């Protein structure tokens, strides 16, 4: 069972449909699909909300609405409030990255509410007092007021990351082994002598520079194959030119 399925994003007293719509899109990006509105206080119609939801209108249309905060979280085994403020009832606030994994393991046992307050004044003290967990998104001290849908995004992002459902991209080619890298150095030394870039006996000096560049940049077998192709081709071109002929099609076929 995917614990993200048990996450309920609960927006409390939200004022603008645009923030609801943007939150839907952010949720969809992070694999979280259940939206609840608690005591919504919407000041505009759904045109903007639907527009900003883009292709996440399915989440918007499937939303549940509740008259009160209490009803919206009544079935939840954990109620995670987000708060930007310090002070009363907020002693045990944590950064989302530091508690997402623990809360997600609760979500494997039942519904978990991620609760976001009003655009203008956040969660009220009596709402914070009902939360089982409190999180505060890390922000710069110079500008701590974060947009509602941006807060939804970062919170959902941390839960998505904690779920392990995202596989970070990695290099498709396998890493180049040392023997291939040393072959690269040897073939380049031969090529550089052949084209007259360096004289015999200067290799030790010059090759240090290429070794430095290649050590930083050549990670995969494809990388090494690419540069081995250059050495092969340069030698071929020079020898071919000595014979008084030239073949424009003799280029390498390595991957970029």
Binding site for a copy of itself (CB under 8 A): 22, 25-26, 28-31, 54-56, 89, 91-95, 97-98, 136, 138-140, 142-147, 149-150, 153-154, 157, 160-161, 165-166, 168-169, 171-173, 219-220, 222, 256
Shortest gap between Cβ of 66 and a copy of itself (angstroms)?
25
Whether 133 and 31 have beta carbons less than 8 Å apart is answered as: no
∠ Cα 110 113 119 (to 5°): 170
Shortest gap between Cβ of 235 and a copy of itself (angstroms)?
27
Q: Which is nearer to a copy of itself, 216 or 243 (CB)?
A: 216
Shortest gap between Cβ of 179 and a copy of itself (angstroms)?
22
Q: Which is nearer to a copy of itself, 76 or 151 (CB)?
A: 151
Show Cβ contacts of residue 34 under 8 Å, excluding neighbours closer than 6 positions. 5, 7, 8, 9, 59, 62, 64
Hey, what's the torsion of the CAs at 107, 108, 111, 114, to 10 degrees? 20
Shortest gap between Cβ of 139 and a copy of itself (angstroms)?
5
Cβ atoms within 10 Å of 154's Cβ, excluding its own: 19
Shortest gap between Cβ of 208 and a copy of itself (angstroms)?
22
Whether 188 and 231 have beta carbons less than 8 Å apart is answered as: yes
Q: Which is nearer to a copy of itself, 207 or 230 (CB)?
A: 230
How far is residue 181 from each of residues 122, 165, 209, 225, measured CA to CA in Å? 57, 35, 14, 9
Q: Which is nearer to a copy of itself, 117 or 189 (CB)?
A: 117
């Amino acid at each position: 069972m995917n614990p993200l399925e048990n996450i309920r994003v609960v927006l409390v007293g939200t004022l603008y449909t645009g923030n609801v719509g943007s939150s839907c899109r952010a949720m969809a990006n992070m694999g979280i699909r259940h939206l609840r509105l608690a005591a919504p206080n919407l000041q505009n119609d759904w045109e903007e909300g639907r527009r900003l939801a883009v292709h996440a209108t399915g989440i918007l249309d499937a939303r549940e609405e509740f008259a009160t905060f209490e009803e919206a979280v009544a079935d939840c085994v954990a109620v995670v409030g987000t708060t930007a403020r310090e002070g009363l009832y907020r002693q045990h606030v944590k950064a989302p990255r530091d508690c997402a994994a623990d809360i997600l393991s609760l979500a494997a046992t039942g519904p978990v509410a991620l609760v976001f307050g009003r655009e203008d004044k956040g969660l009220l003290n009596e709402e914070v007092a009902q939360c089982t967990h409190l999180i505060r998104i890390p922000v710069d001290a110079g500008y701590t007021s974060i947009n509602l849908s941006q807060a939804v995004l970062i919170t959902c992002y941390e839960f998505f990351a904690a779920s392990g459902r995202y596989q970070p991209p990695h290099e498709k080619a396998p890493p180049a082994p040392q023997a291939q890298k040393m072959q690269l150095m040897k073939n380049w030394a031969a090529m550089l002598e052949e084209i007259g870039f360096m004289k015999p006996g200067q290799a030790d000096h010059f090759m240090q520079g290429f070794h430095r560049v290649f050590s930083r940049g050549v990670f995969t077998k494809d990388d090494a194959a690419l540069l081995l192709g250059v050495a092969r081709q340069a030698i071929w071109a020079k020898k071919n030119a000595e014979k008084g002929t030239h073949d424009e099609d003799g280029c390498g076929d390595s991957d970029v």
